[in-house]
Amino acid sequence: MTEQTAKRYGAVAMTLHWVIATAIVGMIVVGKYMHNLPDTNPDKFALYQLHKSFGITIFVLTLARIGWRLGHPVPPLPVGMATWERWAAHGMHFVLYAAMLGMPLSGWLRVSTDRLGIPTLFFGLFEVPAFPLVSDTLTMWLHDLHELGGNLLIPLLVLHVAAALKHHFWDRDDVLKRMLPFTRVD
Ligand code: HEM
Ligand code: HEM
């Protein structure tokens, strides 16, 4: 198992990064798709349940990821990086962590406060408790917040990926490699 060192991310951090990244991209695609389905579509309920179940899973995995990060050394950014670039990298990672927590939380609060009271069935196994407050105003606000969050996340992710590729192909440093499994970082 790849250990986390002062130079690279370890197996746990990499697994969590890539599992959560894949899930979030899927969540955005499914979120947009299901939202635009007519209410009469027979798959709509199941898709909403899947979206909610994966969203809660992402929340729990993100908590685990933050816990792991706090307990392990984070490889420092390359020495030659400009100060603004360091700020941009740290700022972007902070915002992405906020989105990984904020998107599931706003989604959960949004369905909780809805007077329709549709339960969230976690992969059909058990019912996720709802936040005990029903309010049309809050539902509306949280709906808009969740939608806005999803829409803002798309360009942020494009920037994040572009930055990773810039490091690899332009700066030719180890920033991308140290987050990839089966690569050597000297
Ligand atoms: C939904 C998708 C994604 C999210 C939410 C996400 C989030 C994050 C976060 C929060 C970090 C900071 C890790 C830490 O130091 O704690 C990070 C690092 C990183 N991500 Fe992503 N990421 C996503 C997708 C991608 C993709 C598609 C790529 C590939 C091009 C990528 C490449 C990287 C790299 C190379 C790092 C390491 C940066 C460094 O060493 O400082 N990420 N990502
Ligand atoms: C990382 C986690 C999540 C992401 C990235 C995400 C993303 C999205 C996106 C992009 C949409 C479409 C918004 C639009 O354009 O209208 C959406 C809709 C929705 N999401 Fe999430 N979501 C997440 C977690 C959750 C969770 C945990 C719940 C509930 C427990 C949830 C409940 C909903 C609902 C109910 C809608 C549909 C809103 C409507 O049709 O009125 N989401 N989500």
> Would residue 91 count as lying in a domain?
yes
> Would residue 184 count as lying in a domain?
no
> How many CA within 13 A on the CB side of residue 154?
11
Q: What is the Å distance from ligand 2's center to 13 Cα?
A: 25
**Full pLDDT tens readout for the chain, 186 residues:** 888 888 999 999 999 999 999 999 999 999 999 999 999 999 999 999 999 999 999 999 999 999 999 999 999 999 999 999 999 999 999 999 999 999 999 999 999 999 999 999 999 999 999 999 999 999 999 999 999 999 999 999 999 999 999 999 999 999 999 999 999 997
Q: What is the Å distance from ligand 2's center to 57 Cα?
A: 13
> Would residue 26 count as lying in a domain?
yes
> Would residue 135 count as lying in a domain?
yes
How far apart, in Å, are the Cα atoms of 56 and each of 7, 16, 143, 163?
Answer: 32, 15, 17, 28
CATH of the domain at 26: 1.20.950.20
- Ligand 1 atom index nearest CA of 100: 5
Domain count, the chain: 1
The whole-model pTM stands at 0.95
> Would residue 75 count as lying in a domain?
yes
Query: Which range of residues forms the domain containing residue 63?
Result: 11-179
